[in-house]
Amino acid sequence: MWQEKLKQVVENCGGTVWFNEPLSRHTSFRIGGPAEALVTVTTEAGLKLVQQVCLANQVRMSILGRGTNVLISDQGVAGVVIKLAGEFTQVTVSGTEIYAGAGVLLDDIAAVAEDAGMSGTEFLAGIPGTVGGGLISNAGAYGSCLADVVSEVEVINSLGEKAVLGQGQLINQYRQPVIPPGWWALRVTIKLSVGKGRSVQSIRQERWTRHPQEPSAGSVFKNPAVLPAGKLIEQCRLKGLALGRAVVSERHGNFIVNRGNARFAEVYELIQIVKAAVEEMTGIELNEEVQLFPHQCSGTKRR
């Protein structure tokens, strides 16, 4: 069976395998059914071996970062869900550039740059996702986004083919994937500026004060051009609206929080209710920032 081969390959490469592992344990929303197999890979060689097992057995592959901007069905995820660890969580500074693995936390990028006397990435402070996840949504804050500072991305596809994408091949659009569909990030190069920027700790504190602390997936909707989504939702008096244990946060209208054992269906339906209410009251259509996982660019599906 492919599960036995997968376990052997992963453990031989220093990784870990869980079968039927609840993904609710691995997402900030605390929602998500079991992964058929959840693995951590610590090296690129290990990742390629996992890909070979999946390809040989027509098993779907997905890469999950820190699970901070995703909503996962209670039915779980078929195939192999991969988490990047080990060498993929290493970050170094050389001159005015940062080299970081896709598993590095965005907040750590901001902190490392500040410690090196550099600026340009402080807007990433307090964002709880990883570099790889941030590239899926072009994560950002305070008018800046990840694509503004990334100069190069080393990527791999589900067939194990690698490429290096320069800045001209990257996409810089609001909350849109930075890398083309079908590719996963392995490492990035980020350009910095010499000099001191805004304090990373002050930005963290500001985000902590403004955002709810209950389990959530962060901002649910992208901000329309006319007004931030949270303000629109507040103006429509939707704060506190609940469906089961899923609730529109009273602290920030663009957050849906899990008040304990919320279900996928409750969150998903509440999102649709909020969208419909805002459009009916204001004529403005909200688009989701939170993403269903697995993403459509996930790898080979089992036949």
Give me 137's structure tokens: 């949504």
Rounded CA separation 27/250 (Å): 22
Residue 139 in this model has a pLDDT that exceeds 60? yes
- The answer to whether residue 201 sits within a structural domain is no
- The answer to whether residue 150 sits within a structural domain is yes
Residues 152 and 235 in one domain: no
Residue 277 in this model has a pLDDT that exceeds 80? yes
Proportion of the chain above pLDDT 70, given as a percent: 97
Residue 299 in this model has a pLDDT that exceeds 90? no
Residues 183 and 254 in one domain: no
Rounded CA separation 9/184 (Å): 21
DSSP the chain: -HHHHHHHHHHHTT-EEEEEEEGGGGSTT----EEEEEEEE-SHHHHHHHHHHHHHTT--EEE--SSSSEEE-TT-EEEEEEEE-GGGG-EEEETTEEEEETTSBHHHHHHHHHHTTEES-GGGTT--SBHHHHHHHT-EETTEEGGGTEEEEEEEETTS-EEEEEGGGS---TTS-SS-TTEEEEEEEEE-EES--S-HHHHHHHHHHHS--SSB-S--BPPPSSS-HHHHHHHTT-TT-EETTEEE-SS-TT-EEESSS--HHHHHHHHHHHHHHHHHHHSPPP-B-SEEES-TT--PPP-
Among 36, 44, 114, 289, the active-site one is 289
Among 219, 249, 266, 298, the active-site one is 219
Final residue of a structural domain among 163, 194, 225? 194
Residues 42 and 96 in one domain: no
Residue 159's pLDDT is 87
Final residue of a structural domain among 52, 86, 120? 86
Residue 302 in this model has a pLDDT that exceeds 70? no
β pairing state of 291-293 and 70-72:
parallel
Least Cα distance to 43 among 65, 66, 63, 13 occurs for: 13
First to last CA, the chain: 15
Residue 196's pLDDT is 86
Give me 97's structure tokens: 């550039």
Residue 211 in this model has a pLDDT that exceeds 90? yes
Among 30, 60, 66, 175, the active-site one is 175
- The answer to whether residue 297 sits within a structural domain is no
Residues 13 and 81 in one domain: yes
Give me 55's structure tokens: 């390809």
CATH of residue 178's domain is 3.30.465.10
The answer to whether 106 touches 129, Cβ cutoff 8 Å, is yes
Length of the chain: 303
| Residue 250 annotated in active site | no
- Taking each helix axis from N to C terminus, what angle separates 2-12 and 44-56, rounded to the nearest 10 degrees? 170
Range of the domain at 158: 90-194
pLDDT band at 197 (very low <50, low <70, confident <90, very high): confident
Residues 155 and 233 in one domain: no
Least Cα distance to 186 among 93, 287, 82, 271 occurs for: 82
Residues 259-282, mean pLDDT to the nearest whole number: 97
| Residue 219 annotated in active site | yes
pLDDT band at 205 (very low <50, low <70, confident <90, very high): very high
- The answer to whether residue 148 sits within a structural domain is yes
CATH of residue 262's domain is 3.90.78.10
Least Cα distance to 125 among 193, 51, 207, 53 occurs for: 207
Residues 82 and 149 in one domain: no
Rounded CA separation 150/205 (Å): 25
Residue 24's pLDDT is 98
Q: How many domains does the chain have?
A: 3
- The answer to whether residue 202 sits within a structural domain is no
The answer to whether 169 touches 138, Cβ cutoff 8 Å, is no
Residues 76 and 169 in one domain: no
Rounded CA separation 227/22 (Å): 37
Rounded to 5°, the CA angle 99-299-172 comes to: 45
Final residue of a structural domain among 44, 66, 86? 86
Rounded CA separation 115/180 (Å): 32
Residues 103 and 153 in one domain: yes
| Residue 289 annotated in active site | yes
Residues 6-17, mean pLDDT to the nearest whole number: 95
Output the average pLDDT for the chain.
94
pLDDT band at 262 (very low <50, low <70, confident <90, very high): very high
Residues 208-216, mean pLDDT to the nearest whole number: 93
Residue 303 in this model has a pLDDT that exceeds 60? no
Give tens-digit pLDDT for 161-178.
Answer: 999 999 999 999 999 999
- The answer to whether residue 136 sits within a structural domain is yes
Proportion of the chain above pLDDT 90, given as a percent: 93
pLDDT band at 4 (very low <50, low <70, confident <90, very high): very high
Give tens-digit pLDDT for 74-126.
Answer: 999 999 999 999 999 999 999 999 999 999 999 999 999 999 999 999 999 99
Residues 29-58, mean pLDDT to the nearest whole number: 97
- The answer to whether residue 293 sits within a structural domain is no
The answer to whether 42 touches 9, Cβ cutoff 8 Å, is no
- The answer to whether residue 207 sits within a structural domain is no
CATH of residue 50's domain is 3.30.43.10
Residues 186 and 236 in one domain: no
Residues 75 and 169 in one domain: no
Residues 117 and 190 in one domain: yes
Residues 26 and 110 in one domain: no
